[in-house]
């Protein structure tokens, strides 16, 4: 199969065949993580720049580990103290990175479309979107699908309930696209104030009651509640949120036996997820973290290889 | 891309099986028995040939030697020069290769770059005591100082020619053919 993606801004144009190919490649990358020498020379001589305009320790570290395991040279460029903070435009940043010889730029930005814009300004460099505003988080979707695929094999006909703050969640949007492409039934749940309008346009169903949403689900995906947004009054209180939409053992019992409890991290214990679930036998949260490194390795390798 | 045209058959099924049988015996001879021996096939056809060697050695010696598979894709030195993205296959070696006598198995030895990559991949998995190389065909044109310790047949070729070792598990039949690229 010919890999046609260079920059990856989202997974909305990926076919199911491409997902399956990618999952298989990620599996082989995960094997590298188990070797005594956790390093292969696949991207030796390539320069990766991790350009993070928003803080994100785990995504940045995950990308950095993936880049280092593939032997790429890594530069971490954070906005604080950089020329961007001094007023440099993103276009100038892009051209600066290219002049310095960056081959792959991993970017997180608070603005929707920032990664797409950067990709349009780079002549040769590849852009991997590590999250742009409320738009997309493709690598999170890939690691989520990979984690589920490892557990279930085929995802065709599986049901996933995404519960929480869908309105502000780029994870939810990319996950909906990815899981639907893989043939899953997707049900969203959460406070109506944290739900996009006309959510059915995404080809999903909305169920206000989390108990009904998770009924017979194979996967229960808890989205992070950003406590800072609580001040906007989008739901009455953290306690009340937990009571209605937080995952505890009682809620998980309504899903299928053996259903996976998933979360993009970092977790708010006692808010969207109770410790008994986060640390319980159904939790695959740490597996998701591990999958993140494997899938990012696969993405870096597939996008960074081949003739340009 | 230029089309490949089959020019001649170098080995039929019987010839190929005889060669593999001889290689199996030579391996045991080189190793003075089967102790400490590990077979590692290089993806893709090397894997099937290594499995056959394992079976033949077991028949002859009554000992099943460990047999693994090695993918060298992540160790290639020409990733950015390739028109298409190479696909990663699995690497599975059932035993720790540290201190072992490893026989790398491949179908054709050409420039030596695949073997170089395989050696690099192998030492990342452990430190074998000895590594030897067994191939069905050595077609020459080496670009690195690498040679086969056990070779089925030496076939001098031009750079315009390609040797194809076909195995029934993958290609539906056993044979070795020489092909030529149309100009």
Rg (CA), chain B: 16
DSSP for B18-32, written as a single string? HHHHHHHHHHHHHHT
Residue A237: CB atoms within 10 Å: 9
Q: Do B125 and A37 touch (CB under 8 A)?
A: yes
Interface test with A, best of B43, B77, B80, B86 (most A CBs within 10 A): B80
List of chain B residues whose C-beta atoms are within 8 Å of the C-beta of residue A32? 74
- B77's tokens: 């030195």
> What part of B 104-123 touches A (C-beta under 8 Å)?
120-121
C-alpha–C-alpha distance, residues A244 and A190, integer Å? 8
User: For residue A55, what are the CA distances in angstroms to A7, A73, A76, A119, A144?
Assistant: 22, 21, 12, 21, 21
Instruction: Give, for all 183 residues of chain B, the pLDDT tens digit.
Output: 568 899 999 999 999 999 999 999 999 999 999 999 999 999 999 999 999 999 999 999 999 999 999 999 999 877 766 667 788 999 999 999 999 999 999 999 999 999 999 999 999 999 999 999 999 999 999 999 999 999 999 999 999 999 999 999 999 999 999 999 876
Q: Which of A166-180, A192-206, B74-88 is the least confident region? A: B74-88
Pair A160, A216: CB distance under 8 Å: no
The ipTM value here is 0.85
Contact A226, A165 (CB under 8 A): yes
CA distance B104 to B58: 18
Query: Would you state the pLDDT for residue B77?
Result: 79
Task: Give the distance from residue A18's alpha carbon to the nearest chain B alpha carbon, in angstroms.
Answer: 13
The token pair that represents A116 in the structure block? 């797409």
Cross-chain Cβ contact A25/B124 below 8 Å: no
Instruction: Give the one of B77, B83, B126 whose C-beta lies nearest to A306's C-beta.
Output: B83
| C-alpha distance from A43 to closest chain B C-alpha (Å) | 8
Out of A21, A37, A307, name the one closest to residue B124 (CB).
A37
Best of A2, A20, A29, A42 to mutate (most B CBs within 10 Å, chain B): A42
- Look at the alpha carbons of B101, B107, B109, B115 in this order and tell me if their dihedral is positive or negative: negative
The reported pLDDT for the residue numbered A240 is 86
Measured in residues, chain B has a length of: 183
pTM attached to this predicted model: 0.92
The 10s digit of each residue's pLDDT in A256-278 is 999 999 999 999 999 999 999 99
Minimal Cβ distance to B79: which of A21, A32, A305? A305
- Report which of A280, A216, A205 is spatially closest to residue A247, judged by C-alpha positions: A280
């Amino acid at each position: 199969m010919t890999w046609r993606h260079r920059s990856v801004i989202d997974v909305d144009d990926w076919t199911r065949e491409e997902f399956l190919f990618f999952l298989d490649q990620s599996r082989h990358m995960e094997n590298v993580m188990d070797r005594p020498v956790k390093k292969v020379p696949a991207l030796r001589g390539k320069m990766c720049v991790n350009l993070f305009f928003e803080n994100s320790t785990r995504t940045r570290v995950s990308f950095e580990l993936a880049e280092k395991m593939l032997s790429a040279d890594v530069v971490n460029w954070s906005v604080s103290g950089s020329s961007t903070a001094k007023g440099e435009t993103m276009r100038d940043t892009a051209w600066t990175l290219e002049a310095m010889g960056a081959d792959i730029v991993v970017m997180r930005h608070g603005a929707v479309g920032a990664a797409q814009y950067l990709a349009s300004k780079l002549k040769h460099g590849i852009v991997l979107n590590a999250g742009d505003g409320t738009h997309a988080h493709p690598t999170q979707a890939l690691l989520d699908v990979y984690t589920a695929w490892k557990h279930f094999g085929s995802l065709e006909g599986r049901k996933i309930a995404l519960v929480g703050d869908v309105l502000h969640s780029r994870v939810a949007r990319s996950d909906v696209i990815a899981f639907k492409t893989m043939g899953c039934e997707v049900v969203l749940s959460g406070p109506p104030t944290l739900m996009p309008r006309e959510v059915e346009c995404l080809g999903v169903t909305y169920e206000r009651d989390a108990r009904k949403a998770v009924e017979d689900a194979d996967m229960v995906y808890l989205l992070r509640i950003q406590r800072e947004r609580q001040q906007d009054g989008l739901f009455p209180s953290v306690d009340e949120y937990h009571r209605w939409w937080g995952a505890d053992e009682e809620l998980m019992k309504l899903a299928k036996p053996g259903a996976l409890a998933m979360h993009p991290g970092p977790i708010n214990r006692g808010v969207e997820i109770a410790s008994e679930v986060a640390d319980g036998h159904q939790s695959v949260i740490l597996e998701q973290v591990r999958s993140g490194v494997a899938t990012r390795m696969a993405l870096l390798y597939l996008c960074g290889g081949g003739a340009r | 891309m230029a089309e490949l045209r089959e020019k001649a058959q170098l080995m039929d099924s019987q010839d190929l099986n005889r060669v593999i049988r001889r290689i199996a015996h030579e391996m045991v001879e080189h190793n003075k028995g089967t102790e400490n021996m590990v077979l590692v096939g290089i993806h893709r056809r090397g894997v099937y040939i290594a499995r056959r060697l394992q079976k033949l050695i077991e028949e002859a010696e009554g000992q099943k030697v460990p047999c693994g598979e090695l993918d060298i894709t992540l160790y290639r030195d020409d990733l950015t020069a390739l028109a298409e993205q190479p696909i990663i296959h699995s690497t599975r070696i059932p035993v720790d290769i540290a201190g072992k006598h490893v026989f790398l198995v491949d179908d054709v030895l050409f420039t030596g770059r695949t073997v170089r990559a395989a050696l690099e991949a192998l030492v990342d998995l452990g430190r074998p005591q000895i590594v030897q190389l067994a191939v069905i065909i050595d077609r020459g044109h080496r670009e690195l100082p690498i040679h086969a310790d056990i070779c089925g047949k030496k076939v001098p070729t031009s750079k315009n020619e390609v040797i194809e070792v076909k195995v029934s598990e993958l290609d539906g039949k056993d044979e070795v053919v020489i092909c030529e690229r149309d100009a």
